């Protein structure tokens, strides 16, 4: 196994332990009492703090902060830890906090978890393996996530909640109770269209006539008793001379996931 490769501009604490094959990029920080297993990759500007222990093959992308102090008012510098398995991926701006004395004292992550940009794992969380945390998924303190779960983008999970194995939490879903294994949890979707962006269009130079035409077309689409297909036929007939309406109709006809109405 080859020796660690450390960029001259990186800061690696004297007490840090780097196994063979570890690569530390420019301006990265590896703090006191950090242990990195074989073949870990610390990209430029990534920050890893301790006491923390990592297995082999973990990847730390720029500007992530892994092993930082717990975000807890009662923390006063006592020794708490982060324990991480193998082959986890920490993307940009991910934050993972160590434990607290009043908790377990240790935050734990298993292996092969994928944490996308801006994910936060709070203090004392107990995370299994093979989980997907989509962008900005946010775990408060003391959360438990078993294995093979998916936490959707922008989904916060309340402290002390548990997420069972193989569960799926859809984007922007607020979790304040335990999520059973194998379940699919998605917040209600009530997104609605309120017609054309009239003020924005006016600011971009659309004439009053063009805006009025679009308003009439949107009324046919979303406020008449016609279904979408019938509304498109009527829009083509009533507004045959409008390039804006023609563009709107073509876009809707190409939709594969439906449209917001």
How far apart, in Å, are the Cα atoms of 158 and each of 80, 111, 198, 244? 22, 23, 39, 46
Given a cut of 80, whether residue 55 has pLDDT beyond it is yes
Q: What is the mean pLDDT of the chain?
A: 96
Given a cut of 80, whether residue 1 has pLDDT beyond it is no
List the structure tokens of 157: 């999970």
Domains of the chain with bracketed CATH? 1-190 (2.160.10.10), 198-253 (1.20.1180.10)
Per-residue pLDDT averaged across 36-61, rounded?
A: 98
**Catalytic residue check, 123:** yes
**Catalytic residue check, 246:** no
Q: Which of 124, 128, 142, 152 is catalytic?
A: 124
Q: Which of 31, 85, 141, 152 is catalytic?
A: 141
**Catalytic residue check, 72:** no
Given a cut of 80, whether residue 39 has pLDDT beyond it is yes
Q: Which residue is associated with the tokens 């094959």? A: 21
pLDDT of residue 184: 96
Share of the chain above pLDDT 90, in %: 93
Q: What is the pLDDT of residues 4-24, one digit of tens each?
A: 999 999 999 999 999 999 999
Q: What is the pLDDT of residues 166-178, one digit of tens each?
A: 999 999 999 999 9
Given a cut of 90, whether residue 2 has pLDDT beyond it is no
Bridge partners of 6, per DSSP, are 24
Q: Which of 123, 128, 142, 152 is catalytic?
A: 123
How far apart, in Å, are the Cα atoms of 66 and each of 57, 107, 108, 205, 222? 15, 11, 12, 48, 48
pLDDT of residue 154: 98
Per-residue pLDDT averaged across 198-227, rounded?
A: 94
């Amino acid at each position: 196994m080859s020796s660690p490769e450390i960029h001259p501009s990186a800061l690696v604490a004297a007490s840090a332990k780097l196994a063979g094959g570890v690569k530390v990029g420019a301006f990265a920080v590896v703090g006191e009492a950090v242990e990195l297993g074989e073949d870990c990759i610390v990209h430029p500007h990534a920050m890893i703090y301790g006491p923390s222990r990592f297995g082999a093959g973990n990847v730390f992308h720029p500007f992530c902060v892994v092993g930082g102090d717990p975000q807890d008012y009662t923390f006063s510098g006592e020794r708490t830890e982060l324990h991480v398995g193998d082959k986890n991926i920490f993307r940009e701006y991910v934050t993972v906090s160590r434990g607290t004395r009043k908790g377990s004292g240790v935050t734990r992550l298993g292996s092969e978890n994928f944490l996308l940009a801006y994910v936060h794992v709070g203090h004392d969380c107990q995370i299994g393996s093979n989980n997907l945390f989509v962008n900005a998924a946010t775990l408060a303190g003391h959360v438990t996530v078993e294995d093979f779960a998916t936490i959707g983008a922008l989904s916060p999970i309340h402290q002390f909640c548990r997420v069972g194995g193989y569960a799926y939490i859809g984007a922007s879903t607020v979790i304040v109770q335990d999520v059973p294994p194998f379940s699919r949890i998605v917040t209600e979707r009530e997104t609605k269209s309120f017609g054309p962006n009239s003020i924005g269009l006016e600011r971009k130079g659309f004439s009053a006539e063009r805006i009025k035409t679009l308003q009439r077309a949107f009324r046919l689409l979303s406020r008449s008793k016609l279904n979408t297909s019938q509304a498109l036929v009527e829009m083509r007939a009533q507004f045959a001379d409008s390039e804006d309406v023609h563009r709107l109709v073509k876009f809707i006809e190409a939709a594969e996931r439906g449209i917001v109405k």
